[in-house]
């Protein structure tokens, strides 16, 4: 399952170099992942009922092209791979011209709410990788 999220770069997201601050891209990607979970009906409370939370443990991000105030961007999120307790989402940020601005691989772990330790990826989440 792939999702897309559209956004417009705001003035507060620009750094002293006149382009989007690198930390803001992490926020854009997080918003894209939230959209992906929502589209899959895996809201926070749904996962909580399963006794699981997901925790980001690694982000590998490449900054490919500058983005500027007023740019219309699209965050694309799709599943890449799933293991026993972890899974990887691939994400892209493209501009209005379709140019790749950022790509990232995000590794998350399923965590048991009670023990705070890794646990098997729950079936409703695992199915999204088939």
pTM for the structure as a whole? 0.94
Q: Which two tokens stand for residue 72?
A: 């219309």
Cα dihedral 11, 101, 78, 36 in deg (nearest 10): 0
Distance between CA atoms of 87 and 42, rounded to whole angstroms?
A: 15
pLDDT of residue 53: 95
Residue 54's CB is within 10 A of a number of other CB atoms, namely 19
Q: Per residue in 93-108, pLDDT tens?
A: 999 999 999 999 999 9
Fold annotation for 3-129: Thiol Ester Dehydrase; Chain A (3.10.129)
pLDDT of residue 18: 95
CB 47 within 8 A of CB 53: yes
The catalytically annotated residue of 15, 45, 71, 123 is 15
- Has 45 been annotated as catalytic? no
Q: Per residue in 64-84, pLDDT tens?
A: 999 999 999 999 999 999 999
Residue 40's CB is within 10 A of a number of other CB atoms, namely 16
């Amino acid at each position: 399952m792939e999702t897309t999220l559209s956004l417009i770069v705001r003035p507060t997201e620009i750094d002293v170099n006149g382009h989007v601050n690198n930390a803001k891209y992490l926020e854009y990607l997080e918003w894209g992942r939230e959209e992906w979970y929502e589209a899959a009906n895996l809201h926070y409370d749904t996962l909580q009922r399963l006794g699981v939370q997901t925790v980001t443990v690694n982000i590998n991000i490449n900054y490919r092209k500058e983005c500027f105030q007023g740019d219309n961007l699209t965050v694309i999120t799709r599943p890449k791979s799933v293991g026993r307790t972890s899974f990887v989402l691939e994400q892209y940020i493209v501009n209005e011209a379709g140019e790749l601005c950022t790509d990232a691989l995000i590794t998350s772990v399923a965590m048991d709410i009670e023990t705070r330790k890794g646990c098997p990826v729950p079936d409703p989440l695992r199915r999204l990788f088939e």
